[in-house]
């Protein structure tokens, strides 16, 4: 189970990095727009944190995408 959770956190990390890169945003910009710190984004993008639902909603807003787009990309990366 721990391996599965690690794999899922890694898929989310890849999805967040990919969306941020698509929009040519820096972690600082996303963090400011989302009300999350750059350090939090660093830990999220490295797969070392398990975000709350509130953090996911704020993150999607900071990335300028609907939460459903973030989740869809996460699911695609999970299958990769």
Q: What is the pLDDT along the chain (80 residues), one digit of tens a residue?
A: 567 788 999 999 999 999 999 999 999 999 999 999 999 999 999 999 889 999 999 999 999 999 999 999 999 999 98
Classify residue 46 by its DSSP letter: T
- Spans of all domains in the chain: 2-79
Radius of gyration, CA atoms only, the chain: 11
Topology (CATH) of 2-79: 434 Repressor (Amino-terminal Domain) (1.10.260)
Sequence-distant (6+) residues with CB within 8 A of 6 are 47
Whether the CA torsion 57, 20, 74, 72 is positive or negative: it is positive
Whose tokens are 């990335």? That residue is: 63
């Amino acid at each position: 189970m721990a391996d599965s959770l690690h794999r899922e956190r890694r898929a989310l990390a890849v999805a967040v990095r990919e969306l941020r890169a698509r929009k040519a945003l820096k972690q600082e910009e996303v963090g400011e727009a989302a009300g999350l710190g750059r350090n939090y984004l660093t830990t999220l993008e490295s797969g070392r944190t398990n975000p709350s639902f509130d953090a996911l909603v704020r993150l999607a807003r900071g990335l300028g995408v609907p939460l459903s787009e973030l989740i869809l990309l996460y699911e695609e990366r999970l299958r990769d």
